[in-house]
Amino acid sequence: MPSYTVTVATGSQWFAGTDDYIYLSLIGSAGCSEKHLLDKAFYNDFERGAVDSYDVTVDEELGEIYLVKIEKRKYWLHDDWYLKYITLKTPHGDYIEFPCYRWITGEGEIVLRDGRAKLARDDQIHILKQHRRKELEARQKQYRWMEWNPGFPLSIDAKCHKDLPRDIQFDSEKGVDFVLNYSKAMENLFINRFMHMFQSSWHDFADFEKIFVKISNTISERVKNHWQEDLMFGYQFLNGCNPVLIKRCTALPPKLPVTTEMVECSLERQLSLEQEVQEGNIFIVDYELLDGIDANKTDPCTHQFLAAPICLLYKNLANKIVPIAIQLNQTPGESNPIFLPTDSKYDWLLAKIWVRSSDFHVHQTITHLLRTHLVSEVFGIAMYRQLPAVHPLFKLLVAHVRFTIAINTKAREQLICEYGLFDKARGMDSTEDIPFYFYRDDGLLVWEAIQSFTMEVVSIYYENDQVVEEDQELQDFVKDVYVYGMRGKKASGFPKSIKSREKLSEYLTVVIFTASAQHAAVNFGQYDWCSWIPNAPPTMRAPPPTAKGVVTIEQIVDTLPDRGRSCWHLGAVWALSQFQENELFLGMYPEEHFIEKPVKEAMIRFRKNLEAIVSVIAERNKNKKLPYYYLSPDRIPNSVAI
């Protein structure tokens, strides 16, 4: 009688193994096998990390194997089982791979197809079409859209982490529990004694050093030593943890009535301010988004304040960016003066601190939360709802949404209080005009590497534009992102449909770049740039000044966060800046969803391109006092998972 050798791989993460009964059935073109119990005498099957083999004998030839069905039945107590893959050796000596990389829970079952990626048009056999349809129907019941907060992209319908489908939960909740991570941070940073000192001000700037961890030759130490300098202030708009707001000023806005006379001491080219604007030497950062926003009222004992500043910057003769004018609110007037570098030391310093605090808020809510976390979650939900596991784009993207929905659900559960994706027209693209914009330079290298890779994958499965246009599952994925994730807003910059291979490659590049490089650029530098509290105050305890010449050092310290809030902030930026245990970095695909040689070769080329970028960045950073490494591919996790 025909005999098949079945090899079963169990995951190596915590609690991946099972003691339950595991049954296997084979479905082929010539018939179906009986249900076989996979069990070896005097052997503990399906242990964590194990690869077990079994001989399965059938009554008659099954023909081409279409599907493998796995059923899990209770032995003693239910335990979940993580199945990595099954390999089948046929009676003719052929090997067939069936990737899984999923959890089977309870009295569960799962039906697997072989690992060859297939578009819907490639499936002509009824049983395969039916399997494809049923998988999506089941997923759409599991992965439902929900409005978390009005105006935000829709998110997963789950109140807490344990409500999520098992396949997208964290392997271990302990490693990602924000409360636990905070506790670790407090312990590691030795700041427990200040944790509960709310409403207690620091004495002066030097007093903040009591919670500052001094590590020599680090960015954070350099920030502490130079944060008051205009050069350091300007540099952060290019290469700090929020390098996406600065744009070239093409015309001075009427709401910022600054004149040449006001800033002529800062201009180095003997030109008027208007001429400097025309020459492309003036830049602007406008925090208009914060205008009219109420400050957080979570602590009734502490008043908290927000501003909506406008900051004008200048590219000097050394090609460095420095601030030349700051207005702390949007409406000009007598009680909203324009602060200048020629003002008193503390007037100018407090104005810059207000800009840094506003930058912190926009960074956390828009740049970080909205444009990486929530947008990547949208991609993940739409992918699970509209792309079956056999689809090549599911296989491509699944590594880049790993744990994203879980981390966002945890954030909504524990961290976040209730209260055009990439702007390519900011005028910041010239390397000659703006030579020290490393975020742009490195980001472009990584973008091009990702785009080259996605184009290769697209070309393997879509021979022409018509195949793209006719792939209904792809179009449903794109539509789900647009209609539900982006709330049908044209301003999001996302399309309703995709009609060419080039546009598909670009779309996939956006998905992968957002989840990997963009998140790395705005997340992992938070401790570097925000651990010195005066450089990135998370809250301000007094309103913005309404006149010049009245600011004192005491007033500034009383405006900055109190001791308790400073410690919570420090713990947060430390925890957020840590890589996950067993982090997977860009280009790493340990789960072999793809089995085809052309795609595996494309992955190898992708990794080689990324390695070359690592070398370029490392060479550039040599001997730099402020190295920029957030977009080095060996520091870019594959997905948003922290």
> Measured between alpha carbons, how far is 477 from 140 in angstroms, rounded to an integer?
12
Q: Which tokens sit at 574?
A: 């430390």
> Measured between alpha carbons, how far is 13 from 392 in angstroms, rounded to an integer?
26
The closest of 50, 54, 26 to 40, measured between CA atoms, is 54
3-state secondary structure of 231: helix
> Measured between alpha carbons, how far is 587 from 609 in angstroms, rounded to an integer?
10
8 Å CB contact between 633 and 614: yes
> Measured between alpha carbons, how far is 99 from 390 in angstroms, rounded to an integer?
9
Q: Is 460 annotated to bind ligand?
A: no
**Which DSSP symbol is given to 15?**
T
Q: Is 131 annotated to bind ligand?
A: no
8 Å CB contact between 311 and 284: yes
> Measured between alpha carbons, how far is 87 from 70 in angstroms, rounded to an integer?
13
Q: Which tokens sit at 392?
A: 């090549």
List the beta bridge partners of residue 104: 81
Question: Is the Cα torsion angle 343, 345, 350, 353 positive or negative in sign?
Answer: positive
Strands 31-32 and 65-73: unpaired
8 Å CB contact between 477 and 511: no
8 Å CB contact between 380 and 374: no
Q: Is 36 annotated to bind ligand?
A: no
**Which DSSP symbol is given to 56?**
E
DSSP per-residue codes, 537-603: -S-BSSPPPSSSS---HHHHHHHS--HHHHHHHHHHHHHHTSPPTT--BTT---S-----HHHHHHH
> Measured between alpha carbons, how far is 426 from 284 in angstroms, rounded to an integer?
10
Instruction: Name 293's Cβ contacts closer than 8 Å, sequence gap at least 6.
Output: 306, 308
The closest of 531, 36, 528 to 239, measured between CA atoms, is 528
> Measured between alpha carbons, how far is 257 from 263 in angstroms, rounded to an integer?
12
Q: Is 45 annotated to bind ligand?
A: no
Indicate the burial class of 174 (C-beta count within 10 angstroms; 0-12, 13-18, 19 or more).
Answer: exposed
Q: Is 373 annotated to bind ligand?
A: yes
Q: Which residue has the tokens 């890589």?
A: 579
3-state secondary structure of 260: helix
The closest of 442, 438, 229, 237 to 321, measured between CA atoms, is 237
> Measured between alpha carbons, how far is 162 from 166 in angstroms, rounded to an integer?
8
Q: Is 17 annotated to bind ligand?
A: yes
Q: Is 363 annotated to bind ligand?
A: no
Q: Is 512 annotated to bind ligand?
A: no
List the beta bridge partners of residue 327: 310, 338
> Measured between alpha carbons, how far is 452 from 579 in angstroms, rounded to an integer?
27
- Angle at 483 (CA atoms; ends 493, 101), nearest 5 degrees: 95
8 Å CB contact between 562 and 381: no
Q: Which residues are annotated as a binding site for Ca(2+)?
A: 17, 39, 79-80
Q: Which residues are annotated as a binding site?
A: 17, 39, 79-80, 368, 373, 519, 642
Q: Which residues are annotated as a binding site for Fe cation?
A: 368, 373, 519, 642
